[in-house]
Amino acid sequence: MAIALVMLTGVHVFAQEETVTTELTTHSSDAIFSSTASYTFSVQSTYNTPQVGSVKYVVTTEAGKKMKSDSVHVNIGPRSSASYSFDISGLQSGFYKVNFMINVSDYDDTTRRAFGIRPHEVRSQHAKPSDFEKFWNNTKAELAKVDPEFTVTEMPDSSKDNRNVYLVEMKSLGGMTIRGWLTEPKTTNKKKKFAVMLALPGYQVNLMPLYGVDPDIAILSLNIRGQGNSRDVINVRKETYITLGIEDKNKYVLRGAIMDCVRAVDFIYTRPELRHDNIIAVGGSLGGFLAIATSSVDKRINFCSAANPILSDVRDLQYEVDWPFIDIKKYVNTRPGLTYEHVLNNLDYFDSKNFASTLQCRTLVGMGMLDNIAPPNTVQILYNGIPADKHLIIFRDLAHEIGKKYVVYEGRWMRDTFALF
């Protein structure tokens, strides 16, 4: 980039800025292709001199293995533009990262994208433990022995969006107290029953009361053990939480966290104003994981919505992302006698794709194609394994997030599922 400065009768005058701009066009709205990924790379130059160099692409697996590359020589005239087409073929089914790089006389840059080839064919190479269902049935039986001691406290002066707000407290696995917030639309109809959204938190997220404007939906936002207002017993640093008890699957923090969600469903079933046949479990990231896991082990959930669910296909995921494995390996190195393989064996019982395989309720999944925490390969494996009615929404240019389209679809599908017309 260059800016020309001239002097004219004592006044500084800036000439037009010289730049190179690029645009990458993906020839698929969701970057999913049946065999050949197709792109157009467009270049616009306002320089008064030719821009000579190359445009190149490099394709890698999500784990970083180089698969294909190609380049073209470019010679862009002064103040002109050019476009270059690329067809990437010969790849097996799955997801790939692709970097488009331009290197010319006065400019260089990299555009990062991802694409999928026949992702419906992707399957995990790792089976779930043979006693997976037994493990979780035993865990639920252990929870059932804990007196929930539900308490509900109406919050003074907390009404918003024509809703009442309640603090909910209950005892969960191990006798641990967990808390959440229930917001219910105000109504004069004493026979009114509300469908329920069970909102589940992301990693170390403090969920507060959730409101919304839908007069047919009550919202229970749950803070699992060690998060939000459920931190009085477990109150640790962010990087420590994911490793708590990981050396023993019966003591791992996520075992208790999933049971916290089941206990929240127990609470919903005690409330006469809540519809027990209209419960949606909703979450993103860790919340997406929890939504999948809870809907799998607790068939009282009627609709599951999981955006960017983490911890899917863990044994391959470890080669594709840094977190949480960097924290897990640090933890293993501080525990004499504990091996990383032993930890992986335990994590098999908390792999979200293993929960997904027994889902029976309608399920919505959201995926960011550029996600470096829940990579598309792992989310697709989870999705492909769901035997129930399902729908996947892919966000081609987003990372660990989802767009408005997902929220709109979720609301419409929920109302359709629960017959809220």
Rounded to an integer, the average pLDDT of 64-81 is: 96
Determine if residue 133 is left, alpha or beta; phi over 0 gives left, psi from -120 to 50 gives alpha, anything else beta: alpha
* Pairwise CA distance, residues 51 & 53, whole Å: 7
Phi, psi of 176 (to 5 degrees): -80, 135
* Pairwise CA distance, residues 263 & 178, whole Å: 9
For the chain, the structural domain boundaries read 5-121, 132-417
Report the pLDDT value the prediction gives residue 5, as an integer from 0 to 100. Answer: 38
- How far apart, in Å, are the Cα atoms of 127 and each of 63, 252, 355, 385? 20, 21, 12, 12
**Taking the domain 132-417, which CATH number applies?**
3.40.50.1820
Q: How many residues does the chain have?
A: 421
Report the pLDDT value the prediction gives residue 243, as an integer from 0 to 100. Answer: 97
Report the pLDDT value the prediction gives residue 159, as an integer from 0 to 100. Answer: 65
Rounded to an integer, the average pLDDT of 219-246 is: 95
* Per-chain mean pLDDT for the chain: 94
Determine if residue 94 is left, alpha or beta; phi over 0 gives left, psi from -120 to 50 gives alpha, anything else beta: left
Report the pLDDT value the prediction gives residue 17, as an integer from 0 to 100. Answer: 80
Report the pLDDT value the prediction gives residue 270, as an integer from 0 to 100. Answer: 98
With 70 as the cut, is the pLDDT of residue 14 above it?
Answer: no
* Pairwise CA distance, residues 226 & 223, whole Å: 8
CATH topology of domain 5-121: Immunoglobulin-like (2.60.40)
* Pairwise CA distance, residues 56 & 178, whole Å: 53
